[in-house]
């Protein structure tokens, strides 16, 4: 069965999930992916528990989402059980569907604070964190982990069992160690072993870059499949996988559609914090008022940087992709970006397929 799965009380229409990606899975990107269909759940970028509890503006911004994205999971990171529980309460008060714990980030800045993947080196402490969270909120608490810290300490099956024991509603496993970072391959045999160890849903993560891989991996013991980089290259991947899984023709994406995606992304980013008419936005308590908008110049800079970040993935494998990437990286204004995108995607033979 390719459709439908449950995480605690939350039902998902599809078993394919947009993986959390810092700097990438912002509310604008999530909305655009969701609108294309096939994606059962979106996860925010990782959000600092400390920042959420202290009400830091920019942290809260990472956690904001709109109704169109639902169901939505907010991922938090931190190493202190009390603060993680309090942050989970903020997430619940924002009416998010799920709160997810980051136990996969290998970046030293995060890991050295006893957070991210370093929690896999201290499973008992990780369990204290998740126990404090499940006691503090009613929404499902999930955990995203790696295979382990390094080759000598692959412990995802043990950690998953411990998380289940303290009330986690699901676990997602990226089958690489922290030491590996993104080298080598995600170990899907290990992910399947984890799925055989626990009764809660296990979602697999790593190296699904085609709809065929998503469907094939989704048909093994795992309950669902997370897609990260594949979605940055091809935001239609969920829609395509859903079509493939149900025996329909896989929709092709034209160059024009690919160009329009980027233009729409720019427009949504520019409107962040300005246009309150797009429907209800979920904010943390105390943030009932709109944030003061970024000043126009810094907002433009921010959008230019966001497009560079997405462009580095989105242009991979495209005809003329490396020139396009260079042009996007050189652009200093939104106007320049718009004309580069129009030139590359909208002006050549309009019905070409990317």
Ligand X SMILES: Cc1cc2nc3c(=O)[nH]c(=O)nc-3n(C[C@H](O)[C@H](O)[C@H](O)COP(=O)(O)O)c2cc1C
Nearer residue to ligand X within complex by CB, 171 or 324: 171
Nearer residue to ligand X within complex by CB, 19 or 266: 19
Q: CB of residue 94 vs ligand X: minimum separation in angstroms?
A: 18
Segment holding 144, helix H or strand E: strand 141-148
Of these, 19, 133, 191, 223, which contacts ligand X (CB under 6 A)? 19
Nearer residue to ligand X within complex by CB, 23 or 286: 23
Our finding on whether 140 is near ligand X (CB under 6 A) is no
Residue closest to 260 by CA, chosen among 329, 344, 335:
344
Our finding on whether 52 is near ligand X (CB under 6 A) is no
Q: Among residues 39, 105, 117, 208, which one is catalytic?
A: 105
Q: Which range of residues in 160-168, 220-228, 235-243, 251-259 is near ligand X by CB under 6 A?
A: 220-228
Q: Residues 264, 35: contact at Cβ < 8 Å? A: no
Our finding on whether 75 is near ligand X (CB under 6 A) is yes
Q: What are the structure tokens assigned to 343, written together? A: 């030139």
- 68 Rama sector, left if φ>0, alpha if ψ -120 to 50, beta otherwise: alpha
Rounded distance between C-alpha atoms, residue 10 and residue 92, angstroms: 13
Nearer residue to ligand X within complex by CB, 45 or 80: 45
Q: Which of residues 101-130 bind ligand X (CB under 6 A)?
A: 102, 104-105
Our finding on whether 207 is near ligand X (CB under 6 A) is yes
Of these, 27, 73, 89, 205, which contacts ligand X (CB under 6 A)? 205
- Output Rg (C-alpha) for the chain, integer angstroms: 20
Q: CB of residue 289 vs ligand X: minimum separation in angstroms?
A: 27
Residue closest to 43 by CA, chosen among 82, 92, 97:
97
**Residue count at the site for ligand X (CB under 6 A)?**
23
Nearer residue to ligand X within complex by CB, 43 or 266: 43
Rounded distance between C-alpha atoms, residue 127 and residue 165, angstroms: 9
Our finding on whether 144 is near ligand X (CB under 6 A) is yes
Of these, 78, 230, 235, 311, which contacts ligand X (CB under 6 A)? 230
SS3 of the chain: helix, strand, coil, percent, to 5: 45, 15, 35
Of these, 10, 46, 117, 171, which contacts ligand X (CB under 6 A)? 46
Our finding on whether 228 is near ligand X (CB under 6 A) is yes
Of these, 85, 163, 208, 214, which contacts ligand X (CB under 6 A)? 208
Q: CB of residue 77 vs ligand X: minimum separation in angstroms?
A: 8
Rounded distance between C-alpha atoms, residue 306 and residue 337, angstroms: 11
Q: How far is CA 299 from CA 55, 143, 208, 274, 334, in A?
A: 21, 33, 33, 11, 10
Q: Which range of residues in 19-27, 34-42, 255-263, 281-289 is near ligand X by CB under 6 A?
A: 19-27
Q: Is 39 a catalytic residue?
A: no
- Residue, CB closest to ligand X: 228
Our finding on whether 174 is near ligand X (CB under 6 A) is yes
Rounded distance between C-alpha atoms, residue 100 and residue 334, angstroms: 34
Residue closest to 94 by CA, chosen among 289, 293, 281:
281
Our finding on whether 187 is near ligand X (CB under 6 A) is no
Q: Which range of residues in 133-141, 221-229, 242-250, 266-274 is near ligand X by CB under 6 A?
A: 221-229
Q: Which range of residues in 100-108, 151-159, 190-198, 267-275 is near ligand X by CB under 6 A?
A: 100-108
In 187-320, where does DSSP find H-type helix?
188-197, 211-218, 229-233, 237-245, 255-271, 296-314
Residues 6+ apart with CB under 8 A from 265: 28, 29, 32, 306, 307, 310
Chain residues binding ligand X by CB under 6 A are 19-24, 45-46, 75, 102, 104-105, 144, 174, 205-208, 226-230
Q: Which sequence positions are flagged as catalytic?
A: 105
């Amino acid at each position: 069965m390719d459709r439908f799965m449950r995480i605690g009380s939350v039902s998902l229409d599809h078993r394919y999930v947009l993986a959390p990606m810092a700097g990438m899975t912002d509310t604008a990107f999530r909305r655009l992916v969701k609108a294309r269909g096939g994606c059962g759940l979106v996860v925010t970028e990782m959000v600092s528990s400390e920042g959420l509890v202290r009400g830091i503006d920019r942290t809260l911004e990472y956690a904001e989402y709109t109704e169109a994205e639902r169901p939505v999971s907010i991922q938090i990171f931190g190493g202190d059980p009390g603060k993680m529980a309090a942050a989970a309460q903020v997430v619940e008060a924002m009416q998010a569907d799920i709160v997810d714990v980051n136990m996969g980030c290998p970046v030293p800045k995060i890991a050295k604070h006893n957070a991210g993947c370093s929690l896999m080196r201290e499973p008992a402490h990780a369990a204290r964190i998740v126990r404090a969270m499940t006691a503090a909120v009613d929404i499902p608490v999930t955990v995203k982990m790696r295979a382990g810290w390094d080759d000598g300490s692959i412990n995802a099956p043990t950690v998953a069992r411990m998380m289940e024991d303290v009330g986690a509603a699901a676990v997602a496993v990226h089958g690489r160690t922290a030491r590996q970072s993104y080298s080598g391959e995600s170990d899907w045999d290990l992910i399947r072993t984890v799925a055989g160890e626990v009764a809660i849903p296990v979602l697999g993560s790593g190296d699904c870059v085609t709809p065929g891989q998503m469907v094939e991996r989704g048909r093994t013991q795992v309950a669902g499949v997370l897609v990260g980089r594949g979605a940055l290259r091809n935001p239609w991947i969920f829609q395509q996988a859903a079509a493939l899984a149900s025996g329909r023709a896989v929709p092709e994406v034209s160059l024009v559609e690919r160009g329009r995606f980027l233009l729409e992304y720019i427009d949504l980013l520019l409107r962040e914090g300005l246009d309150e008419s797009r429907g209800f936005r979920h904010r943390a308590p105390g943030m009932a008022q709109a944030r003061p908008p970024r000043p126009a110049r810094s907002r433009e800079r921010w959008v230019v940087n966001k497009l560079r970040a997405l462009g580095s993935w989105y242009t991979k494998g495209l005809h003329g992709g490396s020139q396009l990437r260079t042009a996007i990286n050189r652009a200093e204004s939104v106007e320049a970006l718009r004309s580069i995108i129009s030139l590359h995607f909208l002006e050549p033979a309009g019905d070409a397929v990317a």
